[in-house]
Amino acid sequence: MDAHEQGAAGHAGVGALSWPARITVAVALGGVTVTALVHLAMVFLHVAPGNTVSDRHGGTIDGYVYPEFEQNWKLFAPNPLQQNIAVQARAEVMGPDGGVSVTRWTNLTARDAEAVRHNPVPSHVHQNELRRAWDFFTGSHDDENRPNGLRGALSEEYLRRIVLSRIGPETVGTEVLRVQVRSATTPVAPPAWAPEDGTAGREDGGTVHRELPWWPVGPGDVPGSARPGQAAVVSGT
């Protein structure tokens, strides 16, 4: 069958439909097209910078996008980071002789950065786990470290377990009684070629610490390391 015959057969196939069938197909195609255009428009307005339409119909747009079509990106790049945030931790431990001591502060973020640096295929754990855990905690607590929602306790447990899995080597072979976490926030200095007002909007001063209260360590905080009623025994990192 040549091209002319194939085209004629295809035309005959469409033409063979009754008028009601043709109308049904046309309506279906039109509905799919309109639905696709509406979806693309809603997602575009959601990820686009603020504008008159999104400001006026923000509730409708969010109601359509969330939760099924939530987007974790923006049409244009966000403002560059203006702070370096390091997560640090220390522990109160009991040694084999029964003596209780407090370890030095350990910069867990620096360890992750060292593992990522010069690594062509860095792991997701080193890139995101600790950072996302800290973001989870700060997003579910107020400035006084009090939970502001139902996920507050969950974020504390999540952060505590990650810290306990990484805090060694000072805790190796000890019973960890309590753990404390803090952040160290340091403003990013502007480049040498930036204008004098290039620091506008950035915090002045040196490193600022946000210190969380001591958290008691219970069974299960270090997987497989404790029996009910005992503190966690850290055997390695």
178 pLDDT band, cuts 50/70/90, is: very high
Query: Is a pLDDT exceeding 80 seen at residue 22?
Result: yes
Whole-number Å distance between alpha carbons of 223 and 187: 36
Alpha-carbon distance values, 139 to 22, 147, 154 (Å): 54, 9, 12
Torsion over CA: 164, 165, 169, 172 (sign)? positive
53 pLDDT band, cuts 50/70/90, is: confident
Question: In terms of pLDDT, which residue wins out, 195 or 38?
Answer: 38
Omega before 191 cis (within 30°)? no
Tokens of 181: 């976490």
Residue 237, pLDDT score: 46
Question: In terms of pLDDT, which residue wins out, 100 or 47?
Answer: 100
Query: Is a pLDDT exceeding 60 seen at residue 236?
Result: no
Nearest to 231 by CA among 166, 180, 177, 170: 177
> Which of 136-140, 196-200, 220-224 is predicted most confidently?
136-140
What pLDDT, in 10s, does the model give residues 55-74? 888 888 888 887 677 766 66
Q: Which residues 6+ apart lie within 8 Å of 190 measured at CB?
A: 198, 199, 202
What pLDDT, in 10s, does the model give residues 96-140? 899 999 999 999 999 999 989 988 888 888 888 999 999 999 999
Q: What is the overall mean pLDDT for the chain?
A: 80
Query: Is a pLDDT exceeding 60 seen at residue 234?
Result: no
pTM of the prediction?
0.60
Torsion over CA: 58, 63, 65, 70 (sign)? positive
